[in-house]
């Protein structure tokens, strides 16, 4: 199945999640294209069956400014032929932990995308094993979990 991973990342944490997911999916034989949201038009998504969108959370539970063009396009894109999921880095010391993940998930749902699983939120304030967190997410995407 063809997958596109579109992410936005300021300090590299969400990019690392994106790259880890891409590597894991590729290791399972999936075709994966990975792109920064700033270089992506939402109408590119229609050529991919599976879409994964990643963003960190900014401000007071907000989407980052550099995602807004892509996000606006997303809100007018028909995603009823797509399956997908969302991921992102955040910090649970903020009131709205990784809220960008929820905002994006809601938008994908509104645009008709079938959400494969609950979004992956990586908490920067915790000492998590990124590979493990991502692998659990990847296995669920591929329906390989036990």
Ligand X SMILES: Cc1cc2nc3c(=O)[nH]c(=O)nc-3n(C[C@H](O)[C@H](O)[C@H](O)COP(=O)(O)O)c2cc1C
Q: Which is nearest to 117 in space by CA: 93, 131, 129, 133? A: 133
Per CB under 6 A, does 70 bind ligand X? no
User: Does 56 contact ligand X by CB under 6 A?
Assistant: yes
**Under the criterion CB under 6 A, does residue 90 sit at the interface with ligand X?**
yes
Is residue 61 close enough to count as binding ligand X by CB under 6 A? Answer: yes
Distance CA 46, CA 57 (A): 26
Candidates 3, 4, 5, 14; binder of ligand X (CB under 6 A) is 14
Which is nearest to 11 in space by CA: 91, 107, 71? 91
**In 10 A of CB 18, how many CB atoms?**
26
One of 39, 47, 60, 126 touching ligand X (CB under 6 A): 60
Show the tokens assigned to 143: 């329906």
137 binds ligand X per the rule CB under 6 A:
no
What binding mask, one character per residue, do residues 16-45 give for ligand X by CB under 6 A, x or -? ------------------------------
Min separation Cβ 23 and ligand X, Å? 17
If the CB atoms of residues 59 and 112 are measured against ligand X, the closer one turns out to be 59
Candidate residues 5, 6, 13, 48; the one interacting with ligand X per rule CB under 6 A: 13
Minimum distance from residue 24 beta carbon to ligand X (Å): 18
List contacts with ligand X (CB under 6 A): 9-14, 56-61, 89-91, 94, 96-99, 124
């Amino acid at each position: 199945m063809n997958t596109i991973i579109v992410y936005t990342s300021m300090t590299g944490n969400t990019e690392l999640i994106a790259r880890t997911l891409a590597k894991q999916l590729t290791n399972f034989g999936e075709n994966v294209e990975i792109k920064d949201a700033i270089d992506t038009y939402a109408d590119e998504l229609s050529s991919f069956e599976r879409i994964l969108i990643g963003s960190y959370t900014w401000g007071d539970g907000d989407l980052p400014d550099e995602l807004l063009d892509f996000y606006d396009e997303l809100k007018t894109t028909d995603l009823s032929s797509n399956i997908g999921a969302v991921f992102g880095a955040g910090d649970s010391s903020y009131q709205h932990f990784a809220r960008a993940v929820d905002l994006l998930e809601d938008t994908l749902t509104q645009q008709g995308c079938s959400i494969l699983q609950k979004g992956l939120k990586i908490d920067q304030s915790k000492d998590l094993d990124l590979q493990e967190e991502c692998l659990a997410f990847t296995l669920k995407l591929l329906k390989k979990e036990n």
